[in-house]
Structure formats: C-alpha cells, structure tokens
Amino acid sequence: MWAVRELVAAVRTHVEREYADAWVEGEVSNFRAPDSGHMYFTLKDGAAQIRVVMFRSAARLLRFRPADGMQVVVRGRVTIYEDRGELQIAAEYIEPKGAGSAQVAFEQLKAKLQAEGLFAAERKKTIPPLPARIGVVTSPQAAALRDILNILQRRHRSANVVIYPAQVQGEAAAGEVAAGVRYFNQAREVRVEVIIVARGGGSAEDLAAFNEEALARTVAASEIPVIAAVGHEIDFTIVDFVADLRAATPSAAAELVIRSRQEVESHAEALNERLVRGMERQLLEARHALTQLAQHGAFAHMMDLIRQRQQKLDDMTYRLERAERQRLELMRRKWEKVSATVRHYDLRRVLAGMRRELEGMTGALAAGMRNLLLQHRVRAERMTTALQTLSPVAILERGYALVLDASGNLLKDAAKVKPGDEITARLARGKIEATVKKVAADQDSGSREKKRR
C-alpha cells in the first residue's frame, strides 16, 4: 500500500527521468512575478495547459519579460509539485516565438520609457551652436573617435575636447558609458557644454549595451545636452531615443555639435548686408516722400518742408550710420570674445600650463625633501656622537675596565671582596678572570667611613 507522498514522489522521479529536457510551445497566461524573483505562469494551447515555474537563478538571465498572450517556447524539466500533486515544468530557458528575445526586450523597454515621457520632444535640451568644450564618451581605440577629432579639427581647430575612455561593447560597456555621462555632469573642473556618446557600426549584439535601461535613464537624467552617435544611419538603440539629439554616425555628430568658422563669418556678412539694404530702403522711402511733397502746395511751403525733410533725413542717416557702426562693433566684440574664449581653452596651452605647474611643484617638493633629509641626517649624527660619548664601551676604549664579582655585580669598593674571591675584569676587547690575592682599602674611603660612623 502507498502513502500519498510516497506515490507522488515515485511518480515525480519517474517523470523527471523520462522528461529531463523537454521543449514545449504555447501561450502564456496568468503570469505572476512576486518579490521572490521567481516567475509563475500557465502555458496553454487550444486543448491543454500546464503550469510553469522559473526560479530566480534562471529568471534573472532573461533578456525580456513574459506577458499574458505571448507565444513562447519553454525548455525545462517536467516535474510534479508534491504539495498539490500538480504536473509542472521547471523552466530553464524561455524564447519568444517569432521575434528574438533581444528584439522583444528592446520593444518592451522602448514602450516603457516612452510611456514615462523620456522620448518627448519638449524635454530635449538645445545643443549649443559653438561650445567651448566638448565631452566625448567612447573607446580611445575606436575609429569613431578619430573621425570626430578629424572633423572638429577641420571645422574649428581651437575646439577643446575632453575624452572619457569607456568600453563600447561587452557586459561592462553600459556601466562604463553611464559612468562617463555622470562624470561630465559632476566634474566641475571640466565643465563641458555638450556630451557625445559615440560608437561605430556593428551587429545588433555589438550595440546591445546601448539598449540597457540603466544607461538610458542616465542619459535622460543628464543636465548637459547629450548627442547619441551609435552605429550607422539604419541602427537605432534606446539611447538614440532618450538623447537630446541623434546623429546618424559619429562623423555626423561632429558636424552637428559645432558650427564652422566659415559659417560664423558668413552669418556676420549676411547681417551686414541686411543692414545696408535696410538703410537703402529707408533713404529711398524718404526721397519718395520728399518728391511727393514737392509736387503739391506753394513753393515757399515746399522749400520749408524740403528743409525739414532734409534735416530729418540727415538725422536719420546719422542715426542709421551710428546704429550700423554700433551693431558692427557689437558683433566684432562678440566674435573677439568667442575667439578669445576658444583660444583660452586651447588644450595644448592648458596642458603646457599644467605641465609647468607640475614641474614647479615637483622641484619645490624635491628641494623640501632634500632639506628635511639633511636636517634629519645632522640630527642623527649629533645623537650618534652623544651616544658614543656616553657609551661604556667608549670608556673602556680609553683603557678603563669594569670589574665584576662572582655574582656578576659591578665592584666599586675594594672592601666588598676578600683574598681568594673570584673576580672578572671586562676590557674593551675581551675579559680576564682572576683571583683576589690582596685587598688594599682606599684610605680616603676609610676616612669617609669613619666620619659616617
């Protein structure tokens, strides 16, 4: 006779042995994902259903999240949940039917972030037209970096570029790129005005790091405008959607991030031409009005009006000329200020200044260390001399000896020994063992002894 648990356990052992690696296709329903990290759902088709459990160790490796109604393929071990005697599958792997897990994860994250408003145009920050300092987050060995630097050098050779080295492929890539974006936002000594996140083209797997949710949220939270330049023109990642501006390629990002010097000069020339045309139009309108007044009324009145109009015309001409000069002077000052700012942030000058400062500090530190070592050496020599002067060995070197009794005590008074006692004399080099033959007490010491009595 079987006990219930014994029967269920025996059937479970038999089922697990026969169906240790089963692939099952069906529709997900009743999906649950509690705080424990495990996943529970029912896999069904038109005729049957079976429960599925995916434990946390396997569930955390999924690149997408199952949802009710999704067609999936489940691979796992068929077993029996003994507490309820139910047949179930302990899933080890789940793959969406049709689209791959990476694409499903991409679409799910895209929909989630879009619903939160991270793709909204109104939250995009404006890219400055002529940034003094540009931050680039990419691999130092990437061809994308060389393309960006070449274009910036050609369009504006004084552009200051700060590079944050980061992996752009592999498991650590998303974390390193996010660290670069956070660094430029937090480092006050750098103060970049725009950030370029760059990577050259590659397969979908190569660009997978730029579809990570943590990196997307870091880019979206950046207070500094971010330009995403990932892959080729046909490649889209989550970072492209949350960034303030998407560039089709890294080279295009360099073209977008800074206006060339020729464009600035052309804009100034266009403003000057517009000002000249405006002056000519004002003069023409004034001349036309003067002609019309001359054709009506008496000659005297006409001459008076002419003189008034001439005076007004002269005043307007002077004001227009002054306004033109002031505007041109303002534009010239702005241009000089921009040029001075760009020259001030010349990377080579900054590095040269830092190098000179470092060399000065190094020389000062070396001089200070030499003085400190010299002081310590003099002090050590003084202490050595003092120790040598006070050393008993130095006294022995002058011909003196230390006399010890049989117990090893130092003898200071001849009265402390008697003939026949064994004594030891310690010299500067070696010792002498001897026997006392005669004791002659010091008269002065005897006198002092009598006085004490």
Number of domains into which the chain is organized: 4
Which CATH number goes with the domain that contains 21? 2.40.50.140
Burial (CB count within 10 angstroms: exposed 0-12, middle 13-18, buried 19+), residue 178: buried
Domain extent at residue 17: 4-98
Average pLDDT over residues 355-364: 87
Decide if pLDDT at 274 tops 80: yes
Decide if pLDDT at 452 tops 60: no
Which CATH number goes with the domain that contains 233? 3.40.50.261
| Residue 319 falls inside a structural domain | yes
Span 168-198, pLDDT tens digits: 888 888 899 999 999 999 988 888 888 998 8
Average pLDDT over residues 342-361: 75
Decide if pLDDT at 340 tops 80: no
Decide if pLDDT at 76 tops 60: yes
Mention every residue, 6+ apart, whose C-beta is less than 8 A from residue 15. 78, 79, 80, 87
| Residue 420 falls inside a structural domain | yes
Question: What percent of the chain lies above the pLDDT cut of 90?
Answer: 5
The DSSP result for 231-289, as a single string, is S-TT---HHHHHSSEE-SSHHHHHHHH---HHHHHHHHHHHHHHHHHHHHHHHHHHHHH
Smallest CA-to-CA distance from 261 within 347, 153, 345, 163 is with 153
Q: In angstroms, rounded to a whole number, what is the distance separating the alpha carbons of residues 356 and 215?
A: 38
Mention every residue, 6+ apart, whose C-beta is less than 8 A from residue 436. 417, 418, 419, 420, 421, 422, 423
Structure confidence at residue 68 (pLDDT): 81
Mention every residue, 6+ apart, whose C-beta is less than 8 A from residue 319. none
Structure confidence at residue 453 (pLDDT): 47
Selected residue with higher pLDDT from 264 and 206: 206
On whether the CB atoms of residues 209 and 174 are closer than 8 A, the answer is yes
Average pLDDT over residues 144-156: 79
User: Of 65, 98, 131, at which residue does a domain stop?
Assistant: 98
| pLDDT confidence band for 52 (50 / 70 / 90) | very high
Same domain, 113 and 188: yes
Decide if pLDDT at 414 tops 90: no
Region of residue 227 (left: phi > 0; alpha: psi -120 to 50; beta: else): beta
Strand blocks (E) in 97-193: 133-138, 160-165
Measured between alpha carbons, how far is residue 117 from residues 68, 99, 217, 242, 452 in Å? 25, 26, 12, 9, 108
Amino acid identity at 365:
L
On whether the CB atoms of residues 28 and 67 are closer than 8 A, the answer is yes
| Residue 392 falls inside a structural domain | no
Same domain, 251 and 292: no
Structure confidence at residue 191 (pLDDT): 87
The radius of gyration computed from the CA coordinates of the chain, to the nearest angstrom, equals 47
| Residue 381 falls inside a structural domain | no
| Residue 327 falls inside a structural domain | yes
Same domain, 158 and 214: yes
On whether the CB atoms of residues 133 and 162 are closer than 8 A, the answer is yes
Computed over every residue of the chain, the mean pLDDT equals 80
Structure confidence at residue 296 (pLDDT): 58
Residue 73, beta-bridge partner list: 25, 95
Average pLDDT over residues 330-343: 78
Same domain, 252 and 279: no
Average pLDDT over residues 407-432: 83
Selected residue with higher pLDDT from 4 and 159: 4
Tokens of 442: 């010091």
Same domain, 196 and 326: no
User: Of 257, 287, 306, at which residue does a domain stop?
Assistant: 257
Mention every residue, 6+ apart, whose C-beta is less than 8 A from residue 412. none
| Residue 301 falls inside a structural domain | yes
Average pLDDT over residues 254-272: 71
Structure confidence at residue 178 (pLDDT): 92
Same domain, 74 and 153: no
Same domain, 114 and 253: yes
Selected residue with higher pLDDT from 156 and 29: 29
Degrees (nearest 5) of the Cα angle 161, 165, 168? Answer: 115
Selected residue with higher pLDDT from 318 and 446: 318
| Residue 223 falls inside a structural domain | yes
Measured between alpha carbons, how far is residue 73 from residues 48, 69, 97 in Å? 15, 13, 6
Smallest CA-to-CA distance from 168 within 194, 213, 198, 211 is with 198
Q: In angstroms, rounded to a whole number, what is the distance separating the alpha carbons of residues 184 and 201?
A: 24
Question: What percent of the chain lies above the pLDDT cut of 70?
Answer: 85
Selected residue with higher pLDDT from 252 and 217: 217
Same domain, 57 and 31: yes
Average pLDDT over residues 414-438: 85
Structure confidence at residue 182 (pLDDT): 92
SS3 content of the chain, % helix, strand, coil (to 5): 50, 20, 30
Same domain, 42 and 130: no
**Best-predicted range by mean pLDDT among 104-118, 219-233, 243-257?**
219-233
User: Of 344, 362, 382, at which residue does a domain stop?
Assistant: 344
Average pLDDT over residues 31-52: 88
Q: In angstroms, rounded to a whole number, what is the distance separating the alpha carbons of residues 274 and 112?
A: 49
Same domain, 216 and 113: yes
Selected residue with higher pLDDT from 396 and 68: 68
Is the Cα torsion angle 37, 114, 119, 96 positive or negative in sign? positive
Measured between alpha carbons, how far is residue 393 from residues 10, 401, 409, 411, 429 in Å? 92, 10, 17, 17, 9
Same domain, 272 and 251: no
| Residue 382 falls inside a structural domain | no
Same domain, 248 and 268: no
Amino acid identity at 275:
L
Strands 49-54 and 71-81: unpaired
